Amino acid sequence: MTVIYNIHHLHCGTMCPVCAPLFGQKGLHAKVVCHCLLVETDQGLVLIDTGLGIQDHLHPQARLGSFAARFGRIEHDLELTAIAQIQRLGFSPQDVKHILVSHLDFDHAGGISDFPHATVHVLSTEYNATQSFFSLKNKARYKTQQFKQHRYWNFIEPEQGEAWFNLHQVQGFRLFQDEILMIPLLGHSKGHCGIAIKQQDGWVFFCGDAYFSHLQLNPQNKLRTLAKLERIFAENNSMRLDNLHKIQQLAQSQNNIEIICAHDPVELERSRA
């Protein structure tokens, strides 16, 4: 059995794009955070998503392209990198043995290059999508210079395994036994995946970009502008909506699951309180 000692909620980047309602917020500029997790285990540190990395802040045009750099309105602050926060917690970057990524969009994968010795675990369909640039959507979302030099990968087939509540974990991912699970949440991207972490009194369920606002966990809240943006971003919108519905069911029925997404500042603040 894998022993989990602690979970840290990291703030690994901030973007302030124009038109807050696009992200389920009010006002002109949204505040879109990159919420990542650092899990202390007896197998070393496990980083879940990486946010923006050092090179993304130092060389935004070269790494991210002019559109992402301009539209995202990224606040460049090296203190918001995962590596800086891990060092502030008293750890070394070499202590990060594993990185689990929900998907490889630029605001989730930028920190991979800061941990060259870690093994990155990702669904094979997600990695394969980063190698195809026939669509403008892929060109906008994937910035392969962030991770193309990385040496250590574990590509996981997105086949359904045992049930986890109303979802399924992937088959064959037994690295952490039943303590850390990868839960496919396809739709936003071809290989989008959630990560569930077991605690003594329940679970933390990191949903990546399966939703963007805590308000979406209540199906009574109709965020139409955000829904339009999610539909544009989605690789398969019907699958995205199906998985969102399942997440909403979990939120309404399971009090012992802390459900979080990657970009909601309210959830980040609440988790760090």
The sheet with strand 180-184 has its strands ordered as: 180-184, 193-199, 202-206, 257-260
Per the structure block, which two tokens stand in for 64?
Answer: 């991210």
Between strands 160-164 and 257-260, the pairing is: unpaired
What is the structure's pLDDT at 71?
79
In this prediction, residue 69 has a pLDDT band, given cuts at 50, 70 and 90, of confident
Cβ 185 vs Cβ 173: under 8 Å: no
Rounded average pLDDT over 227-256: 97
Per-residue model confidence (pLDDT) at position 135? 77
Cα dihedral angle (200, 201, 202, 205), rounded to 10 degrees? Answer: -70
| Mean predicted confidence (pLDDT) in 72-101 | 97
Q: Provide the 3-class DSSP secondary structure of residue 178.
A: coil
Averaged pLDDT score across all residues of the chain: 95
Give pLDDT tens digits for 139-187.
889 999 999 999 999 999 999 999 999 999 999 999 999 999 999 999 9
Give the chain's count of helices (H) and strands (E).
9, 12
Query: For residue 136, is pLDDT > 90?
Result: no
pLDDT tens per residue across span 184-234: 999 999 999 999 999 999 999 999 999 999 999 999 999 999 999 999 999
Mean pLDDT of 105-111: 98
User: Residue 136 — φ and ψ, nearest 5°?
Assistant: -65, -30
Least confident of 1-10, 69-78, 84-93: 69-78
Residues in the chain: 273
Phi and psi at residue 215, to the nearest 5°: -65, -25
pLDDT band for position 24 (50/70/90)? very high
247 vs 211: CA distance, rounded Å: 9
Contacts of 115 (CB under 8 A, 6+ apart): 47, 50, 82, 83, 93, 96, 99
Band of pLDDT at residue 36, cut at 50, 70 and 90: very high
Q: Give the pLDDT mean for 72-80.
A: 93
Q: What is d(CA 273, CA 271) in angstroms, rounded to the nearest whole number? A: 6
pLDDT band for position 127 (cuts 50, 70, 90): very high
Q: Is there a contact between 131 and 190 (Cβ–Cβ < 8 Å)?
A: no
Residue 68 has pLDDT above 90, yes or no: no
Spell out the domains of the chain, with CATH numbers in brackets: 4-272 (3.60.15.10)
Is residue 110 left, alpha or beta, with left meaning phi > 0 and alpha meaning psi from -120 to 50?
alpha
Residue 28 has pLDDT above 80, yes or no: yes
